Structure 1
Amino acid sequence: MSLFHAVVWMDHQQAQVLQFDAESVQAQRVKAHSHHPRHHGTDTRALHVFFEQLVGALNGVQEVLLVGPAGAPEEFKTWVAHHQAALLPRLVGTEPADHPTEAQLVALARRYFLKYDRMAGTPTPM
């Protein structure tokens, strides 16, 4: 089941994808295959595989908010621009955050999309 909005909390080792509407939240976790922190020489190929899996998890979602620490959301957007350009317009924003709870992530995303959709002049299908 694909929902209209999603928020993705991510770092370089994992991503938590929360698709949601007004009544429900669907959670999915995507993990990188490397066990080493990126700054200790994580294989670039493993990071690309992780990003590819994350793209797959976002299939069908129309608007995605990326959240996370250490530049991971921006690095993912850059990778998407070079490898999965069709997804780029659906990545509507990024927000910094360390380790929020699932409820905090959904609340942040709902506030974000309410403002985003109002500014774009489109009704929010939440």
Structure 2
Amino acid sequence: MAEIAEHLRDAKAILLAGPGQAKLDLRSYLDAHSPAIAARIWGVEASDHPTDPQIVAWARHWFKAQDRMH
């Protein structure tokens, strides 16, 4: 998970999404080991095996909606 945290280091906003427990485990890891990164998590959402184009479309829509709130 440290490698994932390193890739997220420069992200301005983060959406954790996917099936199962992994997104929650990553959130917990970031809370404990990289609180500055964890503070930029805007959401943790369940999704059931979407395709890459579905992920891109969903993220664009989600971040536009969230941007109005942040």
TM-score of the superposition, structure 2-length normalised? 0.90
* DSSP-derived class of the 1:106 partner: helix
The equivalent position to 1:99 in structure 2, one of 30, 49, 60, is: 49
| RMSD of aligned alpha carbons | 1.0
* Structure with the higher fraction of residues in strand conformation: 1
Q: How does 1:20-35 map to 2 (within 5 A)?
A: none
In 1, the alpha carbon distance for the partners of 2:69 and 2:6 equals 28
* Structure 1: segments with no counterpart, 5+ residues: 1-50, 121-126
Structure whose CA Rg is larger: 1
Taking only the aligned residue pairs, the percentage that are identical comes to: 34
Kindly provide the amino acid, as one letter, of the partner of residue 65 in structure 1.
L
Runs of 4+ aligned residues of structure 1 deviating over 6 Å after TM superposition are none
Distance 1:118 1:84 in 2: 26
SS at match of 2:20: coil
Structure 2: distance between partners of 1:55 and 1:98: 23
Higher relative contact order (CA 8 A, sep 6+): 2
Match of 1:86 in 2: 36
The structure that is helix-richer by fraction is 2
Number of equivalent positions: 70
